[in-house]
Amino acid sequence: MTDYPTLKMFINGDWIEAGEAGTMDVVNPATGAVIGQCPKASPAQLDAALKAADDAFAGWSRTSGAERYAILRRAADLLRERAPAIARVVTAEMGKPRAQAIGEITSSCDVVDFLGEEAKRRGGRLIPTRGAALIAQMVTHEPIGPAVLLTPWNFPINLPVKKIAGALAAGCTAILKPAENTPGSAQLLVECFVDAGVPKGVLNLVHGDPGPVSEHLIASPVTRKVSFTGSTAVGKQLGALAATHMKRFTPELGGHAPVIVSKHADLDRAVAMCASTKFRNAGQVCVSPTRFLVAREIYDRFVAEFAAVASKLKVGDPGADESVDMGPLAHGRRIAAMEQVVADAGGNRGEVVTGGSVIAGSGFFFEPTVIANPSPDSRFMTEEPFGPIAGIVPFDAIEDAVGIANSLRYGLAAYAFSGDLDEAHYLGRALRAGMVGVNQLIVSSPETPFGGIGDSGFGSEGGEEGYLAFTDTKLVMLAKS
Ligand code: NAD
């Protein structure tokens, strides 16, 4: 890629090319080629970012909501204008087809708009007093303080945007540490906020090895809030660290979304939606529909039609061919994870109906894969695959399907298809997840909260919750003097 940016950090209003802790390679997952060198922050550079966020907090937290809105609104407009160029970098860094990259960026602009508007909209409340001596009981939402934002690679614009816009709208300053493989996307995103007028020190960008960087930033007394999106295992580690230092923590973690397809569903519509959504972003989506629980009456047809769609998907380098349906996995680790899931199938542990293999050549490509009837104890049914693998299981009674759906400790997204209104309502209530989609597979919009329960984390991003997550609740009780 000829226009890949020179990678930099952004600390206290300065773009910094030299990481004092050396550099790391950035690899295009579709070709295996090294496309950039990313600077790694030293402890001293992390301290400089912490100091900048701390120093800038007093000023930024006192700006009016209207001022913060105006800057965020400009940032959203710049992101819209720059979407075509930023999308090329997203595709080169993590392998998403161009149309999906553009879609991610344009929906991110709406997130920035909404959270910016929250800065103007979100007041506190007055609670009636119990006696005449008290004049007022006022509840306000105060910015928490400097926030550390740790984001993964699968949505390298949308996931940082939710955190940056929530933090800045609420009056917090922030340090973003994006995934090691998508630093260029993060840089171009931060540039939009900087060019929109975010003052020096309010937003900082650092890179490096995630373990030491996150430990350093979380342990600092400057940090008041930690927001992390990534795996459950890492989320638990970071949560423990945040608790040790008494920091507010929002974890958005893994999922293993069930989809119940009732005999009352519109089968053609359900298959078409499920098969196309499953392989979006090569299945590397925390809310990706993955465990398909299908009524026995329609099971054979569902498996055959789903597998037919999967086997016809065009897989290839999305940087070279914009018509591909599915690109590579984001890095080599994901290929090894897919192979382990497929190796565990076979015999009574599930039949690989289509796919199941690495695609030879350079880059990290894996076939769209469908496993029929994986057993309850199979690797597929118990571990989040986070890749292009779907499993389809027949059920007899709808309550059995709900039991299977709710059997894991994950609880991020869950879905159901049913044309029977009572059953659709029942499924919406009975599925245990932070977000439930009924007769459709979208559980995210700028205005609505996004988050899970159980091993999928707690708290929400997006919606008014995404603003309040960066605030402390404060009560002022005012009496006559
Ligand atoms: P990984 O755990 O190695 O890395 C995932 C992300 O976590 C990366 O962005 C990485 O920078 C970050 N990370 C890792 N260790 C960290 C630490 N100690 N401190 C701070 N950040 C850290 O896994 P992977 O193979 O890259 O991705 C697959 C796994 O990650 C899956 O299990 C999936 O659940 C999870 N994941 C989840 C999401 C999500 O949207 N919830 C997104 C991407 C990855």
Q: How far apart are CA 230 and CA 175, in angstroms?
A: 17
Nearest Cα residue to atom 18 of ligand 1: 211
Q: How far apart are CA 350 and CA 79, in angstroms?
A: 45
Paired tokens of 442: 């979208």
Paired tokens of 75: 């940032």
Mean pLDDT value across the chain: 97
pLDDT digits (tens, 9 = 90+) for 111-170: 999 999 999 998 899 999 998 889 999 999 999 999 999 999 999 999 999 999 999 999
For residue 42, pLDDT beyond 90: yes
Contacts (Cβ under 8 Å, ≥6 apart) of 41? 9, 19, 20, 21, 49, 206, 207, 208, 213
Which amino acid is residue 447, in one-letter code? E
253 lines ligand 1 (CB under 6 A): yes
Bin 314: left if φ > 0, else alpha if -120 < ψ < 50, else beta: beta
Residue 192 is among the residues annotated as catalytic for this protein: no
Residue 460 CA to ligand 1 centre (angstroms): 18
CATH node for 257-449: 3.40.309.10
Paired tokens of 457: 């984390």
Residue 145 CA to ligand 1 centre (angstroms): 25
pLDDT in the model for residue 403: 98
ipTM of the complex: 0.95
Q: How far apart are CA 414 and CA 423, in angstroms?
A: 15
Determine whether 431 is exposed, middle or buried from the number of CB atoms within 10 Å of its CB (0-12, 13-18, 19+): buried
Q: What is the mean pLDDT of residues 467-479?
A: 97
Nearest Cα residue to atom 35 of ligand 1: 231
- The stretches of 245-295 forming alpha helices (DSSP H) are 267-278
Residue to mutate, 209, 234, 412, ligand 1, most ligand atoms under 8 Å from C-beta: 234
Nearest Cα residue to atom 13 of ligand 1: 210
180 lines ligand 1 (CB under 6 A): yes
154 lines ligand 1 (CB under 6 A): yes
152 lines ligand 1 (CB under 6 A): yes
Nearest Cα residue to atom 37 of ligand 1: 230
Residue 367 CA to ligand 1 centre (angstroms): 22
Residue 230 CA to ligand 1 centre (angstroms): 4
Residue 252 is among the residues annotated as catalytic for this protein: yes
150 lines ligand 1 (CB under 6 A): yes
Residue to mutate, 231, 340, 384, ligand 1, most ligand atoms under 8 Å from C-beta: 231
The residue annotated as part of the active site, out of 93, 180, 191, 252, is 252
Return the ligand 1 atom nearest residue 215 CA: 19
Task: Tell me where in the chain the CATH 3.40.605.10 domain(s) lie.
Answer: 9-253+457-475
Nearest Cα residue to atom 42 of ligand 1: 230
> What is 9-253+457-475's CATH number, 3.30.300.30, 3.40.605.10, 3.30.70.260, 3.90.1150.10?
3.40.605.10
pLDDT in the model for residue 437: 98
Q: How far apart are CA 11 and CA 204, in angstroms?
A: 5
pLDDT in the model for residue 132: 86
pLDDT digits (tens, 9 = 90+) for 388-398: 999 999 999 99
Q: What is the mean pLDDT of residues 46-75?
A: 98
Task: Tell me where in the chain the CATH 3.40.309.10 domain(s) lie.
Answer: 257-449
Residue 360 CA to ligand 1 centre (angstroms): 25
At residue 272 the predicted structure's pLDDT band, cuts being 50, 70 and 90, is very high
CA 275 from chain centre, in angstroms, equals: 21
356 lines ligand 1 (CB under 6 A): no
Q: What is the mean pLDDT of residues 19-48?
A: 97
pLDDT in the model for residue 19: 87
For residue 1, pLDDT beyond 80: no
**In terms of C-beta distances under 8 Å and separation of at least 24 residues, what long-range contacts does 428-435 make, across chains too?**
430/402, 430/406, 431/258, 431/260, 431/402, 431/405, 431/406, 432/405, 432/406, 433/255, 433/257, 434/460, 435/287
231 lines ligand 1 (CB under 6 A): yes
Number of alpha carbons in the 13 Å side-chain half-sphere of residue 420? 9
Which amino acid is residue 178, in one-letter code? P
For residue 2, pLDDT beyond 90: no
Q: What is the dihedral of CA 287, 293, 299, 300, to 10 degrees?
A: 60
Residue 69 CA to ligand 1 centre (angstroms): 31
pLDDT digits (tens, 9 = 90+) for 175-216: 999 999 999 999 999 999 999 999 999 999 999 999 999 999
* Cβ 448 vs Cβ 454: under 8 Å: no
Paired tokens of 321: 């061919």
Q: In 10 A of CB 168, how many CB atoms?
A: 28
pLDDT in the model for residue 3: 85
pLDDT in the model for residue 276: 94
Residue 221 CA to ligand 1 centre (angstroms): 25
153 lines ligand 1 (CB under 6 A): yes
Q: pLDDT above 70 covers what percent of the chain?
A: 100
Return the ligand 1 atom nearest residue 334 CA: 25
The residue annotated as part of the active site, out of 93, 286, 367, 384, is 286
For residue 91, pLDDT beyond 80: yes
Q: How far apart are CA 174 and CA 160, in angstroms?
A: 11
pLDDT digits (tens, 9 = 90+) for 397-442: 999 999 999 999 999 999 999 999 999 999 999 999 999 999 999 9
User: Reduced to 3 DSSP states, what percent helix, strand and coil does the chain have, rounded to the nearest 5?
Assistant: 40, 25, 35
pLDDT digits (tens, 9 = 90+) for 206-225: 999 999 999 999 999 999 99
Q: What letter would DSSP give residue 450? A: B
Contacts (Cβ under 8 Å, ≥6 apart) of 77? 109, 196
* Cβ 36 vs Cβ 202: under 8 Å: no
Place of tokens 């597998």: 307
Residue 308 CA to ligand 1 centre (angstroms): 31
pLDDT in the model for residue 347: 87
Return the ligand 1 atom nearest residue 412 CA: 41
